[in-house]
């Protein structure tokens, strides 16, 4: 598809929903400390420190807080107070004219790929027994698009282009962010502690290592809070480049600015060794989405005097966001959010629909699945880090050996011409097969796909097989085990071209 530009209607709607009250979180931590050495709670401002702790050692030891009761360990800068114009206890109204707005041509400025594969930001609406999903769906889409506007307009200031790589879908012919409807227990939703909500969301399946989750939470506990790795390494291995990570905005702070602020934390802003760092995950040189007085001893300076820059990232682009930092500068040596792998660099790519991974819409089944594994793993859209992936779901057949298969089944025939397979090998009974092949359902029997380009046995990488076009409702991967070992797959993708 061609690149899609944000319409004036989207920009105006985002402004109406709080884009102009983005970075200026005017509240500060409450005076004094609790017995746990944390600031005292100020519930009216959304400054709730229950469930957080300081640790001198470990991943959260460098001036960050740890969310207690979560696994793996999650670090955060702590809660943010509500910016001027918003109140933690006063819910934001739904976008005016929702039905009309939903029917209008709105879209993300740039989308990429099939909308699901790879590192992506996934938008969640989280609620308890009462759901307002239908009422607010268009609001959440528009706010997410407003976050993308903030990131890209800020990139333009340094001569570049950056977009949030969302999980996307086609709505009225336009590319829009997907908004998941996530129901959890009311007790977890309203807890004065983030961990119960996080654990409930993870239990619902939102725990992928290739996802940042932007949470619009229908509660009145926080204004916003986000995970922050605090990793300053200038490397793709920086912890800010992986997930799962979570950014939360409660209903009193449903605005593009608050969402951009909390998502910014999950992407690595602001590290405490930055030139204008506050020491608490923010910056001190206003106006800036990530800057505000976040402590009694923090001194704020107005460096970017145009208040409109309160809707943009990184005043003077010297602390956390620059698409081409000067040689020798801080961002040329330390972590730069503009390099985050969850962002689209440049104009992205919009391959035509036939290049989409068709496996995502199929149902997976297998000859046998170990009780602790899942055949649904083969088309969950998660790109494995290696053949011995110990984090994400996997399909394996231990202790069964011999010939095994896993297949994708669609409700209607699909036109297929190419597939990608990622083999599972844990060096503990699951090995790469001695041989394998692809078969398709002819309507009455299975047959080998015609004209296959070959079936190499390769670990730690996708194996791509092209073949003569077939029309089928089933695609099967048949694996022959190596001796007494079992076999498995991490991912299977299928394409029309």
The angle at the Cα of 73, spanning 45 to 207, to the nearest 5 degrees, equals 90
Give the Cα separation of 450 and 269 in Å (integer): 51
Euclidean distance between the first and the last CA atom of the chain, given in angstroms as a whole number:
15
Q: Which of 77, 116, 122 is nearest to 265 (CA)?
A: 77
Exposure of 60 in the CB half-sphere (CA atoms within 13 A): 18
Q: Could you read off the pLDDT of 56-83 as tens digits, one per residue? A: 777 887 779 999 999 889 999 999 999 9
Question: For residues 82 and 74, what is the distance between their CA atoms, to the nearest angstrom?
Answer: 23
d(CA 341, CA 242): 8
The predicted-structure confidence for 358-386, as pLDDT tens digits, reads as follows 998 899 999 999 999 999 999 988 888 88
Residue 406 bridge partners (DSSP): 366, 477
Identify whether the C-beta of residue 263 lies closer than 8 Å to the C-beta of residue 150.
Answer: no
The candidate with the shortest Cα–Cα distance to 252, out of 373, 90, 105, 77, is 90
Fold of 354-495: Jelly Rolls (2.60.120)
Least confident span in 313-317, 336-340, 351-355? 351-355
Instruction: Please tell me the pTM assigned to this model.
Output: 0.69
Domain positions in the chain = 8-345, 354-495
* 258 contacts 286 by C-beta, under 8 angstroms: no
Question: Each residue of 229-275: pLDDT tens digit?
Answer: 999 999 998 999 999 999 999 999 999 999 999 999 999 999 999 99
Lowest mean pLDDT among 101-105, 216-220, 236-240, 354-358: 101-105
CB 252 within 8 A of CB 46: yes
Distance CA 309, CA 430 (A): 54
pLDDT band at residue 28, thresholds of 50, 70 and 90?
A: very low
């Amino acid at each position: 598809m061609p690149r899609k530009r944000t319409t004036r209607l989207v920009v105006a709607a985002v402004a109406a929903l709080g884009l102009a009250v983005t970075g200026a979180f005017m509240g500060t931590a409450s005076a004094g400390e609790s017995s746990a050495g944390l600031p005292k709670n100020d519930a009216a401002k959304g400054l709730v420190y229950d469930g957080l702790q300081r640790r001198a050692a470990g991943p959260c030891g460098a001036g960050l807080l740890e969310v207690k009761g979560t696994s793996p360990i999650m670090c955060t800068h702590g809660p943010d107070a509500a910016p001027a114009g918003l109140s933690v206890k006063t819910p934001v109204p739904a976008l005016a004219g929702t039905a009309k707005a939903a029917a209008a041509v709105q879209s993300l400025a740039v989308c990429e790929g099939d909308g699901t594969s790879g590192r992506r930001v996934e938008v969640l609406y989280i609620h308890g027994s009462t759901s307002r999903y239908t009422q607010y769906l268009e609001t959440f889409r528009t706010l997410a698009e407003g976050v993308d506007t903030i990131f890209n307009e800020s990139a333009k200031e340094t001569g570049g282009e950056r977009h949030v790589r969302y999980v996307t879908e086609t709505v009225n012919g336009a590319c829009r962010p997907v908004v998941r409807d996530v129901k959890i227990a009311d007790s977890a939703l309203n807890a004065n502690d983030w961990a119960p909500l996080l654990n409930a969301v993870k239990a619902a399946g939102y725990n992928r290592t290739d996802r940042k989750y932007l949470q619009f939470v229908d509660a009145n506990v926080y204004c916003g809070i986000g995970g922050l790795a605090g990793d300053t390494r200038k490397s793709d291995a920086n912890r800010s480049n992986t997930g799962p990570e979570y950014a939360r905005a409660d209903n009193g702070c449903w605005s593009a600015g608050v969402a951009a602020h909390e998502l910014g934390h999950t992407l690595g802003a602001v590290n405490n060794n930055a030139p204008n760092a506050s020491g608490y995950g923010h910056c001190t040189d206003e106006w800036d989405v990530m800057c505000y007085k976040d402590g009694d001893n923090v001194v704020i300076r107005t460096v970017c005097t145009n208040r409109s820059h309160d809707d943009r990232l990184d005043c003077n682009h010297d602390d956390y966001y620059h698409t081409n930092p000067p040689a020798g500068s801080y961002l040329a040596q330390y972590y730069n959010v503009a390099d985050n792998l969850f962002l689209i660099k440049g104009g992205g790519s919009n391959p035509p629909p036939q290049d989409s991974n068709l496996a995502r819409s199929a149902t997976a089944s297998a000859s046998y699945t170990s009780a602790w594994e899942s055949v649904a793993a083969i088309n969950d859209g998660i790109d494995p880090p290696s053949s011995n992936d110990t984090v994400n779901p996997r399909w394996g057949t231990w202790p069964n050996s011999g010939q095994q298969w896993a297949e994708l089944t669609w409700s209607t025939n699909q036109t297929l011409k190419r597939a990608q397979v990622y083999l599972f090998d844990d060096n503990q009974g699951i090995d790469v097969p001695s041989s394998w092949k692809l078969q398709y359902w002819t309507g009455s029997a299975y047959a080998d796909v015609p004209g296959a380009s070959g079936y190499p046995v390769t670990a730690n990488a996708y194996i791509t097989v092209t073949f003569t076009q077939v029309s089928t409702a089933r695609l099967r991967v048949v694996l022959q085990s190596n001796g007494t070992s079992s076999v498995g797959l991490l991912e299977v993708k299928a394409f029309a071209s």
